[in-house]
Amino acid sequence: MIEVYAPASIGNFTVGFDALGAALAPIDGTLLGDVVVVSDAEKDEFICTGEYAHKLPSDASENLAYQCLMHFKQHVAPNMTPVKLELKKNLPVGSGLGSSACSVVATFAALDKFADTQLSQVELIELMADFEAIVSGGRHYDNITPCYLGGLQLTGDLIPNKSLTLPVDENWYYVAAFPGFSLNTAKARSVLPKQLSMHDSVEFAQRLSAFSSLLLTQRFDDALSIMQDAIAEPYRAPLIKGFSEAKASLPELGAEIVSISGAGPTLFSLCKTLESAQKCADWLKENYINEQGFCHVCKLDNDGTRQLTA
């Protein structure tokens, strides 16, 4: 039996639309992500369990994890023996935390280990991106690669091995608050501008390149000073009830950055101290999330996707 965990992630990471992503690890030890279990069986079998299983299609053939299994058996390991694949869906769908990426990454990573196919990093990331595209409408890597590799990843087709790990200040904390309602990724993309002006394009390129360079040279405060999302946040914020109020309130409690995780509606704030992070979390629990929501104070998950059992 192989059991694999894949963590939640923050897509875009404010300055890196479709190019930056960060994996999350709650400091209380909570596993914020999906788990896939693969074991021997007499015939292929798929089951979906977990807190959010009821949010996925009841027909197995419509489940991303099952589609990944069928593709893997047909195109990667056609001689693989029958398996039982269980997806433990622990991350809410449409949360902006890379929920579909979690399912895809955990499934392919577990199957690769189970079948001992020893796919390369690039081969696995390409497979994962193909199936993430089914949900997100394009081969976006900014949830896939941090979920798989961990940490903060600068990612895309032009980058060697599809991803480059960026360092961050070890004192930074990330508060992730899922409000308890979903936001359809396609809808969140539909409100974005179809084109950028030359000025906006140049500014985006400058901001992302400067941010990455500042992190690589350990100039963390300077990197923080230019964290701003002018590409997606202005258009998506009106879709997220309570976001504007949080954006205005959390800096007074010590948040350095308040932005949208991926397509939303999860909000994330970046704080320099645990005290500030806890104050922000307390405010968000009181003012941003409903009874179906949750809030976690996190560090980066530098381990990424990993096997839980031998």
Backbone angles phi, psi at 95, to 5 degrees: -95, -20
Distance CA 33, CA 237 (A): 25
Q: What is the CATH number of the domain that holds 87?
A: 3.30.230.10
Determine the structural domain holding residue 239 and report its residue range: 173-299
Same domain for 118 and 204, yes or no, is no
DSSP-assigned beta bridge partners for residue 164? 154
Same domain for 237 and 106, yes or no, is no
pTM of the prediction? Answer: 0.96
Same domain for 153 and 287, yes or no, is no
Same domain for 208 and 159, yes or no, is no
77 within 8 A of 40, measured Cβ to Cβ: no
Same domain for 25 and 78, yes or no, is yes
Same domain for 184 and 96, yes or no, is no
Same domain for 7 and 129, yes or no, is yes
Per-residue pLDDT tens for 13-33?
999 999 999 999 999 999 999
Pairing of strands 255-260, 267-271: antiparallel
Same domain for 74 and 148, yes or no, is yes
The DSSP output letter for 43 is: S
Same domain for 97 and 117, yes or no, is yes
Q: Given this model, what pLDDT does residue 310 score? A: 56
Same domain for 98 and 243, yes or no, is no
Which residue matches tokens 């991926």? 262
Same domain for 125 and 201, yes or no, is no
295 within 8 A of 285, measured Cβ to Cβ: yes
Backbone angles phi, psi at 126, to 5 degrees: -65, -45
Q: Given this model, what pLDDT does residue 139 score? A: 82
Same domain for 144 and 192, yes or no, is no
Distance CA 10, CA 173 (A): 13
Distance CA 41, CA 165 (A): 38
Q: Given this model, what pLDDT does residue 184 score? A: 83
DSSP-assigned beta bridge partners for residue 259? 268
Q: Given this model, what pLDDT does residue 284 score? A: 98
Domain count for the chain = 2
Q: What is the CATH number of the domain that holds 238?
A: 3.30.70.890
Q: Given this model, what pLDDT does residue 55 score? A: 92
Q: Given this model, what pLDDT does residue 154 score? A: 98
Low-confidence ranges of the chain (pLDDT < 70): 309-310
